Amino acid sequence: MYNEKVMSVFKNPQNMGEVENYNAIGTVGNEVCGDIMQITMRINDDGVIEDAKFKTFGCAAAVASSSTATSMIIGKTIDDALKLTNKDVITELEGLPPQKIHCSVLAEDAIRAAIDYYEKNKQSK
């Protein structure tokens, strides 16, 4: 079902856990499959994502998508991170089965939710 790259990332995920002293958090879920994904980030005053980590309850595709997406946004600006699409995650993973595409969408949505949280809360500093 999964290609070699997806299985490799699933077995050796990067950025698992929670960022210490995060200032951005996004949690999303898919009611149909039961996958839940949370991404935390630390974004500096220049709008650069210094660190990003994930906690995911879900299948191999959900874990691989979370790991890949967080790796792709670390060191990027908020604007660049917002340009990341689920298709970019799928390309980086060298494909996902059609019934697992929603996992890459969760990763995109979690990043957007975390950045939205950051944007709404940075003014209250």
Pick the catalytic residue from 33, 48, 59, 105.
Answer: 33
The whole-angstrom separation of Cα 81 and Cα 58 is 23
- 59 an active-site residue? no
Q: Where are the beta strands (DSSP E) in the chain?
A: 24-29, 36-43, 49-57
The string of DSSP codes covering 63-89 is HHHHHHHHHHHTT-BHHHHHT--HHHH
**Catalytic-role residue among 103, 110, 111, 115:** 103
Positions marked catalytic? 33, 103
